[in-house]
Structure 1
Amino acid sequence: MTAPAFQPGTFRFLKDLATNNSRDWFDRNKADYQRLVKIPADAFRAGLADALADLTGCTIASKQFRINRDLRFSRDKTPYNTHIRMAFWPASAAFEGKDAQPPGFFLSIEPDHIRLGTGCMTFSKPVLGAYLAALEAGRGGEVTKVLNAAGSCGFKVSDPDLVKVPRGFPKDHPHADLARHKGLAVWRDLPDTGTVQDETAIATLVKVWTPALPVWRYLYNLQEKA
């Protein structure tokens, strides 16, 4: 479970990009981007996908998000992201609509820390319906159990999407807070960028992710039944 890891220069590049976030600077340093970011990220993502396949028992597909920012609806017009972000999900799972996606694993390599998570950012309509139905039927304890187990290992639950419970869901239900989620994920920050700078990086990340695996598995099973 070893793979080429990132270098200290990767993080220097990301910090320099944050300071000099312009097309002119990026064009002058594009060779460094390829050498320090793009090439090692591609290799690392492939190795991590294999490791997550071993962890989950599923064939894993993956994506690396573009360095170019989408500026169409943003007031911030800086052209480049200053992080490396990847997503991993079961290759057999279908994406539903524009935003909804299957349960997956997420990795963000920031200039000064590492962030990882697992879950589903936005439920598809069938999965959201199954999720709310399970809560209302009194099976919210299973969700709470897996979230608490992940929380005891340093993971934090994503914030609710809604201020109030959705229409039709009992306001006084014991799991009303969980019903305010339109997606569900847990996240953990690792303050040491050295985590991804040696040959044990993939094994280390998988070890950190493992306590959150029941969250992923609960959501994966929910989707399979929806």
Structure 2
Amino acid sequence: MDFKNLIDFLRALQKNNSKEWMDQNRKWYKDVRDDYISWLDRMNAKLATIDDEYYDTPGKKGINRINNNLMFHPHKPIYKDHFGAGFDKRPGTGDFYIEIGIERSIMAGGFWRPGPKTLKSIRDAIDYDGEELKKILDKKSFKDLFGGLYEDVKLTNVPKGFTNDHPHIDLLRNKTFAVATEFSSKEVLKDDFEEKVIKIYNEMLPFRRYLNKAVTV
């Protein structure tokens, strides 16, 4: 995968974020996108060998659109400043997300502000065996990579059905259950980048399995 070409394309796109420029550089975009999809296919195959519950996600299925959704975000530029994709995208569960950007890139997983039904399932799981989730979050290697749960909106009041003295009330107040780690574009260009992806996938796997079990069982 020529990640330098991908990053060069994104830099040029952000300087000329217009349909006219994209139309003039459609072949460059297609070459970068096809190369990225081929890389996703290779990583999809690798991840399937280390996770016996892995949900096959070919590159064309995992890749996200480069267009921003202007219907809901009319003030955003037409095109994103990154290429994003999901691995292990079993319907109704939280996938393993990777985003390759210009200056920073991200690997993340879990649920970002899930709907009421999904959020209730996660809270019910925490009520039942929150110690298991705490054990995952408190593991040193996990904390070194992700720090903890992604900081997002939390309830100021106690969630419905729970009490203020619940042993896991701090977890229950969360509205997002996800973790993420950022890295620079320089790290993407290193020879060991694929090994880094696999390492982070493995470290995140118990967390994602806990949540996915909560919303599917």
Q: CA deviation at 1:124?
A: 5.8
Write the deviation string for residues 124-170 of structure 1: whole angstroms up to 9, x where unpaired.
65543332223334x21211111222543321422244332322221
1:191 corresponding residue in structure 2: 184
Distance (Å, rounded) in 1 between the aligned partners of 2:72 and 2:212: 32
Q: Which of the numbers 125, 131, 155 marks the counterpart of 1:134?
A: 125
RMSD: 2.3
Distance (Å, rounded) in 1 between the aligned partners of 2:105 and 2:211: 24
Write the deviation string for residues 178-214 of structure 1: whole angstroms up to 9, x where unpaired.
112344111011124443565x543331123222221
1:202 corresponding residue in structure 2: 194
Greater relative contact order (Cα 8 A, min sep 6): structure 1 or 2?
Answer: 1
Partner amino acid for 2:39? F
2:136 corresponding residue in structure 1: 146
2:91 corresponding residue in structure 1: 94
Determine which structure has the larger helix proportion and give its number: 2
1:32 partnered with 2:28: yes
Write the deviation string for residues 88-134 of structure 1: whole angstroms up to 9, x where unpaired.
225xx433xxxxxx021000001112210122335465543332223
- The answer to whether the 8 A contact 2:114-2:176 is kept is yes
Write the deviation string for residues 37-68 of structure 1: whole angstroms up to 9, x where unpaired.
21111101111212222222123224211111
Q: What SS is found at the alignment partner of 1:154? A: helix
Q: What SS is found at the alignment partner of 1:162? A: coil
- Equivalent residues in 2 for 1:1-226 (5 A)? 5-35=1-31, 37-57=32-52, 58-61=54-57, 62-90=61-89, 93-95=90-92, 102-123=93-114, 127-137=118-128, 139-149=129-139, 151-156=142-147, 157-164=149-156, 165-195=158-188, 198=191, 200-225=192-217
**Identity across matched positions, percent:** 25
Distance (Å, rounded) in 1 between the aligned partners of 2:81 and 2:120: 36
Q: What SS is found at the alignment partner of 1:153? A: helix
Query: Which structure 1 segments of 5+ residues have no match?
Result: 96-101
* Matched residue count: 210
* TM-score, scaled relative to structure 2: 0.84
Query: Which structure 2 segments of 5+ residues have no match?
Result: none
Runs of 4+ in 1 over 4 A off after TM superposition: 122-127
Q: CA deviation at 1:27?
A: 1.3
Distance (Å, rounded) in 1 between the aligned partners of 2:188 and 2:124: 40
Distance verdict in 2 for CA 1:181–1:50, change over 3 Å? farther
* TM-score, scaled relative to structure 1: 0.81
- The answer to whether the 8 A contact 1:8-1:197 is kept is no
Distance verdict in 2 for CA 1:194–1:34, change over 3 Å? farther
Q: What SS is found at the alignment partner of 1:8? A: helix
